[in-house]
Structure 1
Amino acid sequence: MMVEWLVAWADTHSTLLWWLAAASVLMFVGSLIVVPWVVVRIPHDYFAHSRRPERPRQQWPLLLRLAYALLKNVVGAVLIAAGIAMLVLPGQGLITLFIGLMLLDFPGKFRLERRIVSYSSVLRAMNWLRARRGVPPLRL
């Protein structure tokens, strides 16, 4: 009975499932492009500080900073929702969740980032990507 209901649901929502599959493929390809690009752009001493270093964005006009923060947080929330959906649907759920989490602004985010990067396997993978582009390794 459950299988019949699931098949009927999939038949009635086939367009939605195709859109979700297309979004999943786009997120996968996007993550293959965006993640290495972001890792290479991180300053080598970014995680060596106890607090987040000041960014040039802090010199922007207030309205532009607010618009940027709003857009970034909305995109982060959408990616988190998509990542949760991709945990049960086809796609890169964990990677999408991680990217969405990194886009959100919340207290303790820098400590969380430092903790994640401090895992030897994560740091090794990030430094491998950086070495391939001729960028100095990250320091903790």
Structure 2
Amino acid sequence: MQLFIDTYGHLLSLLGLLSTATFFLSLLIIPWIIGMLDKDFFIHLHEHKKKEDEHPVIFILLRTLRYFLGFILFLSGILMLFLPGQGILTIILGISLLDFPGKRALTDRLLSYRPVQKGLNWIRKKENKPEFSFVSLR
């Protein structure tokens, strides 16, 4: 065991630091993002709006940035299932920024769980924002 710690001690320290950083960043960033969303964000989640006067290069740049952020949030959420943090909420935010087959069914299923809705609205209440409206699936 001591040989393992001597060999990989720096890696273990790095993982501990990453875990701590992820936890504190999620405590700061996720509530801020949830507070910035419209109260009907999850009702209009599957609607895509493209501005007619938007330049194609800007459209591609913003779409790429959106996918990158969504992917980072999704992966961070998966890590937070095992590390400290708000895993499920981060996964939902990440998925909401991505486009892939089955997205609607997956997000609708995750958002249909009352604990997820309560968690999202608890954060909204802490941010002094109105509660989210959710599509009733049951």
Q: Same fold (TM over 0.5)?
A: yes
1:46-57 → structure 2 map (5 Å cutoff) = 46-49=41-44, 52-54=46-48
Q: Offset of 1:29 from its aligned partner? A: 0.4
1:47-126 → structure 2 map (5 Å cutoff) = 47-49=42-44, 52-54=46-48, 59=54, 61-65=58-62, 67-69=64-66, 71-72=68-69, 75-76=72-73, 79=76, 83=79, 87=82, 91-92=83-84, 95=87, 99=90, 102-103=93-94, 105=98, 106-126=100-120
Match of residue 33, structure 2, among 33, 38, 53: 38
What is the DSSP-based 3-state SS (H/G/I as helix, E as strand, rest coil) of the residue aligned with 1:47?
coil
More helix by share: 1
Q: 1:116 to 1:80 in 2, by over 3 A?
A: closer
Match of 1:139 in 2: 133
Match of 1:15 in 2: 10
Q: Offset of 1:39 from its aligned partner? A: 1.6
1:29 aligns with 2:29: no
Work out the number of aligned pairs and report it. Answer: 128
| TM-score after normalising by structure 1 | 0.67
Question: Is there any run of 5+ residues in structure 1 with no aligned partner, and where?
Answer: none
- Give the aligned CA root-mean-square deviation in angstroms: 3.3
Question: Is there any run of 5+ residues in structure 2 with no aligned partner, and where?
Answer: none
Task: Report the Cα distance in structure 1 between the residues aligned to 2:11 and 2:89, rounded to whole angstroms.
Answer: 24
Identity of aligned residues (%): 23
Contact 1:80 1:100 in 2 (8 A): yes
Contact 1:75 1:100 in 2 (8 A): no
| TM-score after normalising by structure 2 | 0.68
